[in-house]
Structure 1
Amino acid sequence: MLKTAVVLFVVAVAAATQDKITPSVVQWLQQSSTANVAVTLDHVSHVSGHTSLYNHAKCVTLDAVGGVFQCDALAKEEICSIAALPEVREIVAIIPFDSDFTLKPADALTTTAATINLCPLNIIPKHTTGAATPSACDKPVEDVDYDGNDIKFTQRSNSDDCCDDCAKTPGCVVYVWTPWNGGTCFLKWKAGNAVHKWDAKAAKVANSVGSCQAAQINVDYNGNDIDRIYARKDDCCALCLKADNCKGYSHYQGYCYIKGELGNASYKEGVTSGIRD
């Protein structure tokens, strides 16, 4: 009886994983070995910032407001691994504009296409990270907060875990831990003004993944764009650091413009720019 229950549980988990993958992904993978996909998180995970996708080597923030990531050139196994993450709600194929691919309606699918199961029963989510390795942090300073400049936050009951989170997050150079919501690490791309905050703990990463210089307000570096990503301006530095050939960024009207080269700086109201260290 117990063995039957375990088997049924595994099948249920596999079915739930498969249900997150939309037919567009299944049909695309019938003609290609990899797919570009949009991954949507559930609301709770999006608001809390708790997902390993921030550190996935093939994923970037597509819609910071809606909790959507763009993951490129994923093999079937990688898609299944992401679908197995509990915080993932839906995975949709991103079809290139120049493709002649046409999504078939459900009632037009062949039996094979309609019932194909991409993911094996024993799929296990892989919490992948980028190339960064954890590095030591300075000794935490008690009752100090560095206001602003957040990249993201993670839920950690132990403040010591913040060091590892910061070290693995592109652009993070300092963290602040507070007991808010059971314990939260605020990962920051720079240390702002130090302010007093009871029970907070702050520390700098000795060897961070990388960083950007202080943001330049109303400054634009026109041209030389290698990518345009819909995201908050506070996310632009981390997105730049994920691209090996990025020299800096400009944020304007909700988009991070990732720069392969930095041209002449010019004044443009509403633009925020940064230079990669």
Structure 2
Amino acid sequence: MAIKHSTPVYQVVFLTQAQTGLSISDVLLLDVEDFVYAVSERGENLSIIEDLTIKEAIHRAKTDNNLIGCFDLRRKKTNGEFYTFAGPEVLKNIALLLESREEELLQVKAPIFLKETSRLAKNEREKLSLEERRLCPNMVKTYVIRMHNGKKIFPKIEVDGKKRNYFRTHKLRKWFSNQLRFKAGFNAEDTKYLMGQKTGDVLEHYIDPNNYAALKANYRKALPSLAINDNITMEENQEAIEQLKKESEIKDEKIAKLEKKMEEGDKKRDKKIEKLEAMVKAMVEKQTNGE
């Protein structure tokens, strides 16, 4: 309900929280560059292996209904490194948000989520740096309070004898956790990791390519449980297909290197034979002339 009654920017903010499990602070730290990297292909060691432009990234997110993006992050609260996934519903909405933006606000370090500046005079707006345009947690908090007090779409609840607003952004994070664990069957450690929380498993467990692929495949299966506005139907076994494709590419590369090595070996051998033939010919000519 919060998403449905929000303005476009806040709709995407809340949708991103609901389907990534990120805190509001971490969502608002996302830059255009994070989006581009999220939809880019990854190599065997999880590094980015293609150089997409922002327009190419937007096009991919808008047209690939089976796309799972990966945000590599450093959590603001703990400074811990982690990654989390985002499905096509989130990626497409971010793409549409960026597509509606002026070119100057599509720089790699530009925030994905910008504060409302239409009421400022043009000269005042132009003075703002990219960082000054970034939407901040306090603004989101104020917006949510206005939703309660102005639109009155949520009831008040009583907590410890005090009346409190029913909806807070943290509820989306809690919803993500509950949907993954109790609807999709995720284990607690994997759920906590995707939310940037400390887990019993060491980081190396999650940056291992095999564990990354397995976690991504499980997230893909869980996406229907995280659907907000769209009915999500994902093709399964995509991670296995991607892995086979990578293995095939690696095998082709090894074969190409071996063939090149063999070709170079053949050339060296031919040169040696030519040299020996020349020596033999010279010896025969010498003996002939001596007679």
Fold conserved between structures, TM > 0.5 = no
TM (norm. structure 1) is 0.25
The structure whose residues are more often helix, as a share, is 2
The structure whose residues are more often strand, as a share, is 1
Query: Which of the pair has more CA radius of gyration?
Result: 2
TM (norm. structure 2) is 0.24
Relative contact order, CA 8 A, sep 6+: which one is greater?
2
